[in-house]
Structure 1
Amino acid sequence: MSLAAVLAGCADEPAQDGPIEVTRAACGAGWTAPPPGPQTLRVRNNAAVTMEVELVDPATGTVFGELEGVGTGTTRSLPVNLGNGAYALRCAPEDGTPFVGPAVTVSGGTDRPGPAVVPVTYADLLEPLRRYHAYVADGLATLAGQTESVKQAVRTGDRGAAQRAWLTAHLTYERLGAAYDAFGDSDGAINGTTDGLPGGAGDPGFTGFHRLENGLWHGESAAALVPVADRLDADVRELRSSFGDAQIDQNDLGLRAHEIMENTLQFELTGRTDYGSGSNLATAGANLAGTRAVLDVLRPLLNTRFPALKDLDAWLDRTEHDLHAAAGTSLSALDRRQRERLNGDVAELTERLAPIAAIVEPRRIS
């Protein structure tokens, strides 16, 4: 969801007579004394480069709407809802420094109806990224000890102990969901599925947690599973070693806050990632914990930018409560009412998380 979708008002009134022009030298030529209320601004890029154009408060930088990737010679529509106050356009050439055009004043209407977002800068995200990197590093340290336990249990041939150790380790990994892109190829090796593998569960490229799960819960011999467990442990240790130098992309925290639960709905609550353990609901709980970890580091930025944060927290609590109520139950053992409630919880939570990516997307403002 783009910031424009988050901020857009209902454009019940027609667009202005002529387009507002933006160039490298001028941001907002032709925009004077707009009326209050819902309307559509037509913005034409007469520069030789692609531009990002935002409608802002010239004093505070608060963003009321945006157009991303306005190409050379194109005209785009920006629906807005203008209350009383000063406004300006901020233009960001793709290869240059953002600058703010002249201010225009709206009067004769009502107070600004909102919503509006104070932009998040790259500097604002440094501390959340540092904190989340530390969270993941701690999680990987814990995971390395747990996969060692998995390996030892498989080697001793104690299938029950190996299954319990597997679940503990897998849930630890599933709590680190916002860092998967930073893990690179290691994520596929550690937590990949059979999707896209021509040989399915017997494909040599099927490794990691789910390969081991498939063997542990389908009677595969300990001798056959020892190299699988050994490789899982080695891959985790290699990831732990390399992660110290890895960087989490600035956009990933906001995006993954939403995508973790979207993936939970798509894969865990459908059973697509169950290879025998019946632990999808436990994994969904770990995913929820991973989402909370992302929100915890972003909360200082969201407190003043996301009015719906309190309602989001309430849905997190509701979803956690319902998952705990189903603890120890396989997905297939849920009755229809339980399954519908959980699907509804996670679907609604996913929707409520969606605006966060746009709100905390880092912006160039100077």
Structure 2
Amino acid sequence: MIRPRIPRSRRVLLAAGGGVLAAGTVAAAVLVPSGARNGAAAQGPSDGLPHTAVQISASMCGDGWLRPHGGLQVFDVRNFSDSPAEVDLTDAATGKVFGEIEGLAPGTTRPLQVTLGNGSYAFKCIPDDADAVTGTTVTISGSQAVSGPAALPVTLQDLIPPAISYQKWIGDRMADLAAKVGALKSAIDSGDLAAARSAWLPAHLVYERMGAAYGTFGDADKAINGTTAGLAGGTGDPHFTGFHRIEYGLWHGQSASQLRGPAAQLADDISQLRASWAQARMDPGDLGLRAHEILENTLQFELTGRTDYGSGSNLATARANLDGTRTVLAYLRPLLTSRDPALPQLEAQLDRLQHTLDSFDTPSGWTPFDKLTLDQRERVDADLSESVEQLAQVAAVFDVRRTS
């Protein structure tokens, strides 16, 4: 399940290291080397890389880049305007972004590290309160370097079609969810708790595959799939409802009469969610982030046992979460294929994770996480952690940027 989290900060693509780093990585102010103030390349004081001082203002962007050269290098970008601005270094022909600085405050200088090969480049400045300004196109030739990672910016309009399609997919799953919860409720109502225990996991896994929609579900998600976190009364708290409330009762000896109320409430909550879904509107800008967050939360909650209330089904939930991640990626694929050259490696990594998880689905049921050997735990953790790390690139690629 997707848990509430601190609002995201912009992730930026940096050529050095070829990965995704938090925006804070480039946030520290730096001193512009004196030898670079005239636009010439100079050796940085500590990193040993060539530095070029460039300037932005209300009317110019990237001024001072006078002697272009290829290779790994740093631009020390200073804001001479009166307002913060985002600064992107772009491919002048395609608009792909090689590096960005978000929220460059007036009077400050920050570094932008990139690797550039032959081609044409231009800085684009996007002030908080004005239209974008594109600087002079600069051409690099005769370089042996290969340009570092770059991504074509994604706009909100790009993401609307996959968001609509994904929202329809969620709506189509609602009938299956309602049917399986209905079977769970019927088993509890009839007093057949063995049948209820068998029905609980299939119903829960349908919900767990809907991971990218939880933010749109709002308060319904906590009612349907919440835990005891933050509840003063713990498992006895009246606000502890939904799948995990029923799970606790089924695996801790509660009677059918004690579980009929929670089962009826879960069925009603599902019914209300299903009825309201047609009027719900997902935020298209969240899709890429959710593709990363689903397994990030799996790592945080399922592999720690924090969501296990007796069924021992954390690994089954992790497998369902992987299905949910792949569903989101499938809807994003038309946009992702041309933007993320590492997509084949990500798909191979997700295959590896799937193979690992499927090995714990035995004829007698899913192996409880706390029954894994140390080697098995380390393998699950390593495969899931690597998947989460690679999915961070997807979140970065689909971080919606202004282009004008």
Scaled by the length of structure 1, the TM-score of the pair is: 0.94
RMSD: 1.8
Alpha-carbon contact 1:36-1:83 (below 8 Å) kept: yes
Per-residue deviation, 1:157: 0.9
Deviation digits for residues 44-98 of structure 1 (CA, Å, limit 9, x no counterpart): 2222322111000122101110011112222211111222221111111223332
Alpha-carbon contact 2:159-2:285 (below 8 Å) kept: no
Counterpart amino acid of residue 353 in structure 1: L
Match among 135, 144, 153 for residue 119 of structure 1: 153
Question: In the alignment, what sits opposite 1:281?
Answer: 315
Whole-Å separation in 2 of the counterparts to 1:98 and 1:142: 47
Corresponding position: 1:15 with 2:51? yes
Helix, strand or coil: the match of 2:216?
A: helix
Per-residue deviation, 1:5: 4.2
Whole-Å separation in 1 of the counterparts to 2:346 and 2:126: 32
Match among 59, 63, 73 for residue 25 of structure 1: 59
Helix, strand or coil: the match of 1:305?
A: coil
Moved more, 288-297 or 323-332: 323-332
Counterpart amino acid of residue 312 in structure 1: L
Corresponding position: 1:186 with 2:244? no
Alpha-carbon contact 2:77-2:111 (below 8 Å) kept: yes
Alpha-carbon contact 2:153-2:400 (below 8 Å) kept: yes
Whole-Å separation in 2 of the counterparts to 1:7 and 1:95: 29
Question: In the alignment, what sits opposite 2:387?
Answer: 349
Question: In the alignment, what sits opposite 2:300?
Answer: 266
What is the 5 A alignment of 1:129-148?
A: 129-148=163-182
Percent identity among equivalent residues? 53
Question: In the alignment, what sits opposite 1:290?
Answer: 324
Per-residue deviation, 1:336: 2.2
Whole-Å separation in 2 of the counterparts to 1:248 and 1:55: 31
Alpha-carbon contact 2:295-2:321 (below 8 Å) kept: yes
Helix, strand or coil: the match of 1:67?
A: strand
Moved more, 28-37 or 205-214: 28-37
Counterpart amino acid of residue 51 in structure 2: A
Match among 125, 131, 134 for residue 91 of structure 1: 125
Helix, strand or coil: the match of 1:363?
A: coil
Alpha-carbon contact 1:12-1:38 (below 8 Å) kept: no
Whole-Å separation in 1 of the counterparts to 2:285 and 2:101: 18
Whole-Å separation in 2 of the counterparts to 1:60 and 1:326: 46
Question: In the alignment, what sits opposite 1:69?
Answer: 103
Alpha-carbon contact 1:312-1:353 (below 8 Å) kept: yes
Match among 320, 344, 367 for residue 310 of structure 1: 344
Scaled by the length of structure 2, the TM-score of the pair is: 0.86
Whole-Å separation in 2 of the counterparts to 1:145 and 1:6: 48
Whole-Å separation in 2 of the counterparts to 1:102 and 1:5: 22
Moved more, 190-199 or 2-11: 2-11
- Unmatched segments (≥5 aa) in structure 2: 1-8, 19-46
Question: In the alignment, what sits opposite 1:339?
Answer: 377
Question: In the alignment, what sits opposite 1:230?
Answer: 264
Question: In the alignment, what sits opposite 1:330?
Answer: 368
Whole-Å separation in 1 of the counterparts to 2:16 and 2:83: 25
Whole-Å separation in 1 of the counterparts to 2:119 and 2:16: 17
Whole-Å separation in 2 of the counterparts to 1:72 and 1:294: 39
Equivalent pairs, count:
364
